[in-house]
Structure 1
Amino acid sequence: MKKQRPINLDLTTISLPATAKASILHRVTGVAMFFALLFVIWAWAVSLQSAESFDYVKSLLNSHFAKFIAWGTITVLIYHLLGGIRHMIMDQGYWEELDSGNASANITMVLWIILAVLAGVWLWF
């Protein structure tokens, strides 16, 4: 019996629909938020120890690397919130058809990019 399955599947040639990309991004941002919150909790805990440790964390967070991490954390949070709102609306029975699901996924991703850029402008200026 010969099986008709690919031997070497090239993942770069697979075209995923917008709904799949939105779902994958929602899961990835959830995992990224977990790891980002480890940094946030550490900074919060250290800053509450004393006035000197607060000044240390404050000076640390003024670096470009820390601002980049903060921007990444905010960006991940924004997408996860937008994706979560989209999923809750879908749980109510809306946007479940193929066209409206793709449209809502595309709108979510475009809105995320716009808000991520605005968050970056807010952080650096």
Structure 2
Amino acid sequence: MSHSPATRDRPLSPHLTIYRPAITMTMSIVHRITGGALYFGTLLVAWWLTAAAGPQSYFDFVNGIFGSWFGRLVLFGYTWALMHHMAGGIRHLIWDTGVGLEKHTASKIAWATLAVSVVLTILVWVVGLMVRGG
């Protein structure tokens, strides 16, 4: 039995399991994940703002959740997601101008995205603690 051209076995398209992860690919995936996480984090910000506009007792309740160790951990993650997504957006903006597309340069920019996001997150939290006084 012969196969017609339409039913002949064809090679599969390359998939994530075929490629060796590169920093540019990883940062692109993380950029998408942080974009999704920002939706959740923005709901938390909206919840806090809504509580601030409501009764003092409800605001104290919400503030208590955000001030707990778990709430602070979530807010720290939200801050990192925001900083990482911003840095990734700037990385893509640079690439959109046609600059930094060479493999070596693109890898350096991707590593810089990670480093900048970590440094900015720590900076935001340190300044926040200094302003709060604790």
Smaller-chain TM-score range? 0.7 to 0.9
Note the aligned Cα RMSD (angstroms): 2.6
CA positional deviation for 1:57: 2.0
- CA spacing shift, 1:10–1:52, aligned 2, 3 Å: closer
Paired residues, number: 122
- Identity among equivalent pairs (%): 28
Asked if 1:101 corresponds to 2:106, the answer is: yes
Asked if 1:49 corresponds to 2:54, the answer is: yes
Distance in 2 separating the partners of 1:91 and 1:2: 38
Q: Structure 1 regions of 5+ residues with no counterpart?
A: none
Question: Out of 35, 38, 41, which is 1:30 matched to?
Answer: 35
1:92 alignment partner in structure 2: 97
- CA spacing shift, 1:85–1:4, aligned 2, 3 Å: closer
Asked if 1:82 corresponds to 2:73, the answer is: no
Partner amino acid, structure 1, of 2:22: P
Residues 71, 119 of structure 1: 8 Å contact kept = no
Residues 19, 102 of structure 1: 8 Å contact kept = yes
- CA spacing shift, 1:49–1:57, aligned 2, 3 Å: same
Distance in 2 separating the partners of 1:67 and 1:118: 15
Distance in 2 separating the partners of 1:121 and 1:14: 39
CA positional deviation for 1:114: 3.1
Distance in 2 separating the partners of 1:72 and 1:87: 22
Q: Output the TM-score relative to the length of structure 1.
A: 0.80
- CA spacing shift, 1:102–1:34, aligned 2, 3 Å: same
Q: Structure 2 regions of 5+ residues with no counterpart?
A: 1-7
Structure 1 residue matching 2:50: 3-state secondary structure = helix
Between 1 and 2, higher relative CO (CA 8 Å, sep ≥ 6) is seen in: 1
Q: Output the TM-score relative to the length of structure 2.
A: 0.75
